[in-house]
Amino acid sequence: MKIAVIQGPNLNMLGVRERNIYGAMSLEQIHEQLKASASQNGVELEFFQSNLEGEIVDRIQECLGTVDGIIINPAAYTHTSIAIKDALSAVALPTVEVHISNIYKREEFRQKSITAGSSTGVITGFGPFGYHLGLIALTQIINEIKAIEEAQKQQQAK
């Protein structure tokens, strides 16, 4: 199983920026912990981070046919990007949106996620551990999809 982890703008500054909101862990530390968890479960992760909306859209499109699912933290684009929402809809892969902070306890403009409508589910407010929760959820979703597809193949073969 292969999962893309896509990180949006300013997440490369984790551990430095607004530690009172996002904590002390760097993005690299989060990815290393996530990679360790994934490898224990036979999951391969591909990491990508960009501050540019178009690059994120391109990466989402590249996921079609190459990965089984996406974990995405669109960061500030969560609240503004119809392009990212549309790209997620277009590839139609199981997707878990993750936010380190609880967006519903933040400023009003951060409480609306445009991209959530194209995601399978959203995890928000659990700090860096949210990525682990996203990995667990997405792995389960992908396994269920594969089981259903296998059952349908067996049914058709009868």
- Give me the average pLDDT of each 10-residue run along the chain (158 residues): 97 86 87 95 97 98 98 96 98 97 75 90 95 97 94 86
Residue 22 annotated in active site: yes
In this structure, what token pair is assigned to residue 119? 């995601």
Are 90 and 58 within 8 A, CB to CB? no
Total domain count for the chain?
A: 1
Residue type, 81: S
Residue 99 annotated in active site: yes
Spot the catalytic one: 31, 99, 131, 132.
99
Are 93 and 70 within 8 A, CB to CB? yes
In order, the DSSP letters of the chain are -EEEEEE-TTGGGTTTS-HHHH-S--HHHHHHHHHHHHHHTT-EEEEEE-S-HHHHHHHHHHTTTT-SEEEEE-GGGGGT-HHHHHHHHHHT--EEEEESS-GGGS-GGGG--SGGGGSSEEEESSTTHHHHHHHHHHHHHHHHHHHHHHHHHHHHH-
Spot the catalytic one: 22, 31, 77, 131.
22
Closest CA to 13 of 56, 60, 75: 75
Angle between helices 82-91 and 53-62 (to 10 degrees): 0
Domain with 44 in it: what CATH number? 3.40.50.9100
**Could you tell me the residue range of the domain that residue 62 belongs to?**
2-157
The pTM for the full model equals 0.92
Q: What is the tens place of the pLDDT at every residue in 60-83? A: 999 999 999 999 999 999 999 999
